[in-house]
Amino acid sequence: MNYIEELQERLLIKGNPELQEWWEAYLKHEAKFLGLRMLDIQSILHKWYFELRLDSELSFEEQKELALSLFREEYSEEKIAGIVFLREILLPAGAIDWHTDLPRFAELFTEGWISDWNICDWFCVKVLGPLVEQQGEDCARAISEWRKASNMWQQRAAGVAFVNLAPKGNDNFPGFVDMLLEICTETVRHQERFSQTGTGWVLRELSNADVKQVEIFIESNIGHFSGEGLKKAIEKMPDETQERLKQAHKDCG
């Protein structure tokens, strides 16, 4: 049986042309959609998995390869199905090991299978962040090395992977805040829009844990921020701090 084709048929049947048009316009036609919501994809993926008895038909390694192969498909919903497969089936089963699987995840970026903010960010918050929660500091620091990647989306993932962990700061592990600021030191120097917004998002969430350190970081790097990146970074700061940092940014320009 061709498992991928069976899943594709199920997704296609549920596609909504109006939602397809909305998503494609929202992403400026840089990605293709079938027109499904996340809840629909989750429901279809789980039903497909259990009706086809993949838990007994395939080994975990075969299931993992199947999940990763979904990222190579054409439509965003197929890639998101791969994300759901990894997050909701394989990760809870203990079938993902960062030592061997992070290099495979990196290939999704370097081979161009993750190439827009929508898939990048879903992958970060659904797979990479929970993987760090499950497997700890060494996994986190390995992901942080992606800040040096030449691929913009992989570099963005180095920070965005931690947006849901950032508000807990060093309660994640000692040195977590310094690690995130080290990531941002690299990413803020890139002027691409999604490098800037990714950096700003990370700093915004980190300000919940240590607003003073984030403020000092922004002051030290103010000349590297775009207006959009700075706006996102300071969103949760007091009004007077926001105004002072905006003025400092304006003075740099």
* Cα–Cα separations (whole angstroms), residue 9 to 60, 79, 232: 24, 15, 40
What structural domains and CATH numbers belong to the chain?
A: 1-96 (1.25.10.90), 114-253 (1.25.10.90)
- pTM value is 0.96
pLDDT at 252 over 90: no
pLDDT at 1 over 70: no
Give 149-190 pLDDT, tens digit per residue.
999 999 999 999 999 999 999 999 999 999 999 999 999 999
